[in-house]
Each structure stands twice: as C-alpha cells, then as structure tokens.
A and B are shown apart, each in its own frame.
Chain A
Amino acid sequence: MPRLVIDDLQIEVPEGTKVIEAAERLGIMIPRFCYHKALGSAGACRMCAVKFIHGPFKGLQMSCMIDAQDGMVVSTTDEEAVAFRRQVIEWLMMNHPHDCPVCDEGGQCLLQDETVSGGHGLRRYPGRKRTYHDQYLGEFIAHEMNRCIHCYRCSRFYQDFAGYRDLGPMQIANRVYFGRFRDGPLESPFAGNLVDICPTGVYTDRSSRYKARRWDLQRVPFLCIHCSLGCSTVASARYREVVRIEARFNESVNGHFICDRGRFAYPYANLADRPRRARVDGEDASLAEAVRAASGRLDQISMNAGPDAVALVASDRCSLETLAVLKRISREKGWRHPAVFPRPDLEHKTRRAVSRLDRRLAVSMRELESADFILAVGIDPVHEAPMLALALRQAFREDAGIVVMDPRPVSAPFDFDHVAIAPAEIGGCLSRITEALSALQADSAAQGKETRRPEAAGPLRADLDSRIAGIVERLRGSRNPVIVCGTDIVRDSTPDRAADLARLLLQLKARPCLFFVLPGPNSFGAVLLAESPGRSFSDVVQDIEQGKVKALLVVESDPFKNFPDRERLERALDRLDLLAAMDYLPTSVVGRAHIVLPTCTVFECGGSFINQEGRVQRVEPVHEGGIPVHQVSGGGHPPRVFSHEVPGGEIEAAWRTALEVAGYTNARDNLSILKIMAEEHPGFARCRDIPTSRSFRVLPDAGDRPPVCEETGDRAAPEAADTLEVVLVDRFFGTEELSGYSPVIQNADSEPLVFLHVRDAEPLGIAHSDWISIALEGGGLEVRAGVSAQMAEGVLVIPRHRLLEWQKLGPVPAQIPFGRISRAGKE
C-alpha cells in the first residue's frame, strides 16, 4: 500500500490508485474533465496537472495518469500547477461558444465551474471560434458540438464502457468531432448517461429541454421503479412537475449509470390526463366523499355477501407501505388478500425465487461485475433488466465468459454463447448441469478422476449435450461463477433448479453466485407480504365469474395491461357490483371504475421498494404534489390570487387512502405506517431504525431447502411438430407499464416485432419485417415479423407491447398451429 503526501496531508491508498483519486480521498478535488471513476484516465484534458515535489516523478504531471507510489510528495496548489491549469482553461474556452444562457447544462456545468474557479473571465484571444454541425441523435439527447472540449468521456463511455459502436470520435487535432457517421437515433439503451457524463453541454436531455436550472430544482435521492433492479437516481421537480432524472452513484446496485428507460420514463407523473379528482359513479367528488362512498359500499357488500366477496388487486409497482396496508386491512376486514401478480405462474416463480435466495447466495449487481463466468438463463438482459446488461458488459470486459440460455434472439453489448432453446428445455438443462457438476465433484472427491462426461438425460439434442458439457467445464474452471435467472418466460420449476445449481456452486467455490431477475420493482416485497399460497389476478377473475366476488378494489394496478384475455376481463368486470380503482395513471380500469380514488406517484409520496436481491430501498417525496403549474395556468402565467390550497393537492399516498377506505382514520401518519410494516413482516422492523438514505437487505441467513416434492406442474414442450410455442416477453420500451405513458418514450419506441426462427418462417414464406397475421378465436393480430437464426426453433416470441393488442387474442394458447400464421397483404 503506497503512502504519499498530498498538500501536506498523508494518505495510504491501495496499489494502482491514481494520484487524483488519492487526493479525492483526502477531500482535495483536483480539477478534471476527462477523468471519471468509471471510465478511468485518458490524459486528454490536461486539467488535473499538479506539481510532484519528491518521489519517483518530478515536476508538473497529470495526476490522473500517475499511480500513487511510496514517498511521493505532491502539491496541488503549487504556483506553477495553478498557472498551468489556468492556462488550460483559457485554451479550452477559446472555442467554447457564448451560449450559456440557452444551454441546459448552465448551472450544473463542470466547465462553467472550473472556468469561474480558475478566474478566467475575459477572452483575450481575438480570433474566430471553431464551429461544427450538430446531429439528430434521437428523441432523448440534443447535440450541440460547438460546446465540446474534447475530453473523450462520451466515446469512452459509449464504446468502451457500454459497448455500442455508433457514436465516436472523428477527425484529428483541433477538429475532433464526436457523433455518429450520419444523423439518427443512438442505438444504445444507455445513451442517456451521455448527459450526465459530458462535462459541458454537448449532450443535453431533450425531455427536460429548457425547463429549469439546477439551482431551482427540488432534488431528492431517488429510486428507479421501472424494473426489478432498483437503480439509484436523483429526481428533480420544479413547479410541481418532475423535470429530470439523473443517475446517482450506488456502490452496490447500479454504479454510476442508469438506463434510458429509468431516465426518460418520468413524464407519466406529469400527464395532463392523470386522475386528479375523485369520482363517484362518473361524477366528480371530493376525495373525502369518494372515500366515504367506497367505504360504505364495500362494507355493505361484505355485510350482504360476506367479506369474502370483496377482493383486492394490487401490483408490483405498489410501494411496500401500500402492500403492507392492503395486507393488514384484508386480514382485519376478512376481505380477500390482495392479488398482486397477473398470472399464477409468475406468482409461483417469484415466490420460489425469493424463498431460495439467502445471504450467502445473493449477488448484488456490482458484485456481478467481478464474476469470471456467468450463466444467464431465461433472460434477455437488455429488455428485462437493462442495467444487468451493463453489469454483464463490465464482467465481459474483465474477460468473464457469458452464456445466455434463452429462446429469444438475444442481443447484448457483449460477446456471449447463446444456447437458444425453448423455455421448456431450460430447466432440464440446468438440472443436467447440476447433476454433472455434482457427479464430477463426487468423483474427484472419491477417486481424483475428472474425466466423467455428463450423461444425456432425456430426449435433448446432441449438440446441446456438448454445449452443456462445455458449460459444466467452464463452471468448474471458474473462480467466481454466477447464475443469473429470469422469472418471466421460464417454467415454474426453473428458479428452483437455478437455485439448486447455485447452492452446489456455493459449496464448490464458497462465493455468492445467484442473481434472480423478478417481474417488477416490488415483486420481492409482494411475495414477502403475500399469504401462502398466493393468489393471482386470474384466480380473482375466475371467482368473479362464479359470482363469489362482488366488489373489487384495484390499487395501482391495471389488469387490462397484463390479463391475457381482454373480452373475458371486460365481461367479468361488468358483473361486479362495485369496481373501485385507486391509481395515479389514466388506466382502462380507472376509466370504467364506479369509484375512482386518485393517488400520488412515488415522486409525491415516496415509498419503499425491495429490489430483486432483497434490498429494501426507501425514498422521500420529491415534491408535495398537486397539478403542475403550467397545467393549472394553461401555459400562461399562474393565478395571481394567493391561495392556501394547492390545486390537486388533496390526493394522498395509496396506503393512506386505503387505510381511510378501511375505516382507520387515526393510523395515517408516518410512524404508524412503519409500525404496520414491521407487524406485517418482521424483516421491515429495521425501517424504523435505519435512516431513509440507507438500504438494507431482507434476506434470511439460509434460504429454503429445495422442495421435497420435485414434481411441479410445468407445461411440457410442444409435442406436435406443426405448432409454435407462444412466448410472451418484455421489451426495453413499450411493455413496462409506467414508461409506456411517457410521450418521449412513445416517440422513441420502434415498431414491435414478433420473432420466429428462420426455419419456422421459411415454409410459411415469411421474410424479415414482413407483415404477418396470426388468426385466433379472439380475433386476428396483424404485426411485423422478425425472422432470426439466433433463436430457438418452434417458438413464437410476442412482446407484450402497448401498441400490439396481444390481449385481444383471447386466451393466448400455449401453442399456435402453423396454419394460423400467414403473410398478410399489408405493406
């Protein structure tokens, strides 16, 4: 550990630490533009010059390029260094345009800060400024190349860190240009990070273009709820409107960056058609009146038809507070326990995944980056958990081997071996890997032999056998393997089988090695709070049809989005005596509900969420709620008369309104909710002791044993050769509920494609991007086909896209005969 002196302060740092980093640990911020902790050093900007007084280096050197070494004495305030840095700033400003007033970076600009702190105020150079043409880089990012100072951060992030190739440097010397070869949307789903990473205003956020200055914003450390990973963000609001989301550094979750879905999904909170007024039977009402109406009618129905006739529906975007309150009131009122998951299989898989995860097994996303072999099963990282793809990319950059076992045409910013097999085969493959590995282990323990090949079990293909053998070998040879397992498309038993393999690896390697991806931001919490066995929404629909359920209270959930049979759902909802909806989105359920109780988004009331590794993360509200000022005023100036009441400000968090509906009027403060949470699950008791800014994991020391009975009701692989198995999947944009409401994401989204394998498409005469029609009982679906050779055969991959009315298909069958799929005449 080298020990060095910086500005008369001594510090000991790990080997390989740069001097600039060592100084930062002492609290000395050496000015920099090109150096970034995640991207490393480039030595491009010359801004971090310091004077080396003693030690192996002497004189003026770039502190980002030199490793801290023993005996160094460094001065950051030496006259020569200060003069040099002042000179550098003046050079950088030679070509920088005079446009700070109309630049969105103004007020949060590193170049601005360092120009001011360097004391450079007047331009001495009389020559002309260099200019560039700008490019259209898509709906998310505005490009203004005149402002560039050539620090190379953008290309280093975009190409090296994130692994996409379509943005980079061109030209030489003073003419270097950062952009694409020609105009067009950036291909990377992480491109939004260019906004954060650019030290000046070359890349700015188009979604918040010209909306506010940093110093005016209400900024709060926040949490992303657009997938199960729970990345850290900073949310900013102004005039009751959320205007910007930025990435926040989190050591154990997302590192420095976030994905574009997390960054640009926020406009759902600002929608003009968000439910802001309570409604009773189509008439506007005050929140108190609507709560009274809901409360009265629910009580009436539970009195007449029994409390069992009232069912609660929630979703995995509900906060932990809401879920805990719903559990409490359903228990005390005798109502049906909230159904959180749309399908029973999703509920089952999430439950299995959560119960098998424990402290020794769970890997955080940052730990994943240091794995040397990763087996990802049943997951398309970019689409289901985008930041996972970036984490895998970092592992890949450190030479980790990655195998993805998935039927979809997976594309990711790293090289991987794609084992394209149908969902039904994944579990079998995992079991065989586990068996082979444990057999090898037993052999080598008994006789020191390591030559036994895994035996082919079952009717799987021969090439698959060799690939499985390869995976077993690589698992054996790796120091730190990790199993990543999705829960969306896999069969019911697959999470268990992944956990079995992870347990074995834990025995062999003594390192945590299991990473699940769950269906939604709070799926983990929903399962912790669920009764066992849990009920899904499809059970509720069945009970409505049988007349057992008369009233439905839908809390922050849109069954229309997820329920696979729209007509059946509509018929069922029409049978209800009471449909009450609590939501902050203008969903279809809100549109048809008898009683609408608007609620706050997480930006307005905060909340707790548990991510896929069991990490409880809590956030405070960003602003107090209410209708955004520019919506109240219709774009003009706000009302001139002062009022104590905020328009739309009576809306409360879902858990408060739910408590009120249930008749608990005196338990609605923040302390009582912590108490309720702790009572509903002992793991949440720590919420009371730990400040909101800190997260903690609710994981048992040892997870469930493997289930005694291995027999699960897995759906078998399609037997008949003339059918395709339907796999409904998530997509980066368009399938996640909240981001689907964001206009900027709607504009940026591309057309959804239904994928099938080349060998399945050829006999049907379907080529890539042809229109096809899929005929079913519930009607037809016309959609563009994607034809790929990089996917499993016998599978039809349909995204649950907002524009694709897959719910209209009727009860989506597991299999579709080839005869039902044909080329459509549409062009």
Chain B
Amino acid sequence: MAKEESSIAKTAAEMVKGLAGSYAVTLKHLFRKPITEQYPEYKKPLPARSRGRIILTVDPDGDERCVACYLCSAVCPTSCISMESRERDDGRRHAAWFRINFARCIYCGLCEEACPTLAIQLTPDFEFCKDDILKFVYEKEDLLVNHGGRNQEYNFYRHAGLSEKGEKGTHINEKPPVDVKSNMP
C-alpha cells in the first residue's frame, strides 16, 4: 500500500515539473527578439548560391557568354531548355533562340553545372508566380542580363583559342603559332 502511495506522489511531481518546464520555456521566449520575417513586406537576402530563376550572363567584353553548345539542354532532367545554335554573322557560335520553360524547371542547377562558359546561372530569385502558364516560357531576351553574374571575369574565348576572338597564339596559356615553313626548331 505504501508502495502505491509513493508512486502516485512521484507521478504528480513529474507532471508538475513538466508543466512548469514548458511554461518556463514559453515565458523565456516571451522576452526574446522574434525571428519571424514579415514576408512579403520584408525580403530576406538569400545566399548567392541559392537556386532560383535562371539568367544568361555576358562576358567582360559585353558579348553574350552562351555559345549554344547544347550541354544544358542535354543535361536538363525535365527537358525544359531548348535552343537552336547558329553561326552569327561575325563567325561566332551563338543561340539563334534560347528558351527555358520555367513551368517545367525544377531548379536543380544541373544546367549551371554543365555550362562550360558560365553563361547560364541560377539566381536567388525564387518568387515565381504567373497568372498564365505561357508566361513561364522565357525567351532569350527575357533571360539575358547585362552583367557577368557571380563571375565577372571569366571569358571563355580567352581560353578556347579560336581565331574568331583574337589571333592564334594570343590567348591564355598559348605558344605562338607554329611556322610550318620554317626549319628553325
């Protein structure tokens, strides 16, 4: 019998302790600074690498970086990127048109990872609502921005060594062209 009484007392004590503990937490938070953001009145700056709306950046010369190599459209798991590559009048490879269907895009970032020229980049802009699904289809003029995105310096053509941009042998890490008609070593 005595054993029974002591167990009831023990349980009651535990209950009081539990109640008091949680009240104490509540009481503590009453005097803390709140962390809730008043979205959309306040928009928290997101990390630069967070994955939202996609842009096409330009190189330091101000020319579009995209060379329409088709790597992003090949890697895209939802096939939301389509383009048609053409030779521009100055001999440069470019996309005649470039389209991303954001209604399909899952913002996985594989396109950015595949892009060899740093042209396609995901931005932290995640708020994406449209009243018409067709408005999610972004064309090249909607995607192009006038800056280099996260990397302002990289210029693919300085590395590629094609004569369309700069003479042979003048690009980064290149020897002067071989003179095939000379016998000098």
* A contact set with B: CB distance below 8 Å: 97-102, 106-107, 128-134, 144, 146, 170-171, 175, 177, 179, 209-213, 215-216, 239, 629-630, 633, 635-638, 640-641
Contacts and interface: CB of A to CB of B under 8 A. Distances in A.
B31 to A, nearest CB: 55
Contact of B74 (A98, A131, A215, A641): A215
Contacts of A97: 160-162
A636 B86 CA distance: 11
Contacts of B102: none
Contacts of B98: 637
A170 B175 contact: no
Given A209-B87, A630-B96, A102 B162 contact: yes
A178 to B, nearest CB: 10
A366 B160 CA distance: 43
B156 A101 contact: yes
Given A99-B161, A102-B162, A146-B168, A637 B99 contact: yes
Contact of B67 (A101, A146, A633): A101
Nearest to A636: B97
B134 interface: yes
B111 interface: no
B84 A629 contact: yes
Interface of B: 67-71, 73-74, 84-87, 93, 96-99, 116-117, 134, 137, 139-140, 156, 159-163, 168-169, 173-178, 180-181
Among B98, B116, B176, find the residue whose CB has the most chain A CB atoms closer than 10 A. Answer: B116
Nearest to A144: B162
Of all A-B residue pairs in the complex, the 4 with the closest CB atoms, nearest first, are: A101-B69, A637-B97, A99-B160, A177-B180
Contacts of B168: 131-134, 146
Among B68, B84, B85, B140, find the residue whose CB has the most chain A CB atoms closer than 10 A. Answer: B84
Given A101-B116, A210-B86, A638-B97, A129 B161 contact: yes
A98 B71 contact: no
A35 to B, nearest CB: 26
Contacts of B159: 98
B139 A637 contact: yes
Contacts of A101: 67, 69, 71, 116-117, 156, 160
B71 A211 contact: no
A129 B174 contact: yes
Contacts of B73: 216
B69 A131 contact: no
Nearest to B181: A170
Contacts of B176: 131
Given A210-B85, A210-B87, A215-B74, A106 B161 contact: no
B75 to A, nearest CB: 11
B135 to A, nearest CB: 10
Nearest to B134: A640
A211 B86 contact: yes
Contact of A213 (B70, B96, B180, B181): B70
B165 to A, nearest CB: 10
B158 to A, nearest CB: 10
B116 A129 contact: no
Nearest to A97: B161
28 contacts: A97-B161, A97-B162, A99-B161, A100-B69, A101-B69, A102-B69, A102-B93, A102-B160, A106-B69, A128-B175, A129-B161, A129-B175, A131-B169, A131-B174, A132-B168, A144-B162, A146-B161, A146-B168, A170-B180, A170-B181, A171-B178, A171-B180, A175-B178, A179-B180, A212-B70, A215-B74, A635-B86, A637-B97
A171 B140 CA distance: 46
A677 to B, nearest CB: 38
A209 B140 CA distance: 21
Contacts of A129: 161, 173-175
Given A102-B162, A211-B85, A131 B117 contact: no
B83 to A, nearest CB: 9
A241 to B, nearest CB: 9
B97 to A, nearest CB: 4
A179 B177 CA distance: 14
Given A101-B116, A134-B163, A134-B168, A239 B180 contact: no
A175 B180 CA distance: 8
Given A98-B160, A175-B178, A212 B85 contact: yes
Contacts of B67: 101-102
Given A106-B69, A637-B140, A99 B174 contact: no
Contacts of A239: 84
A22 to B, nearest CB: 36
A147 to B, nearest CB: 9
Contacts of A177: 178, 180
Contacts of B86: 210-211, 630, 635
A347 to B, nearest CB: 45
Contacts of B74: 213, 215-216
A525 B80 CA distance: 47
B114 to A, nearest CB: 10
A113 to B, nearest CB: 15
A635 B96 contact: yes
A100 to B, nearest CB: 7
A144 B168 CA distance: 11
A720 B135 CA distance: 81
Given A175-B180, A630-B84, A131 B161 contact: yes
Contacts of A209: 87
A132 B177 contact: yes
A229 B172 CA distance: 50
A35 B87 CA distance: 33
Nearest to A241: B84
Contact of B177 (A131, A213, A638): A131
A171 B181 CA distance: 8
A128 B68 CA distance: 27
Contacts of B134: 640-641
Contacts of A641: 134
A132 B168 CA distance: 7
A99 B173 CA distance: 14
Contacts of A130: 175, 178
Contacts of B71: 101
Nearest to A130: B175
A623 to B, nearest CB: 15
A195 B116 CA distance: 24
A239 B175 CA distance: 40
A132 B85 contact: no
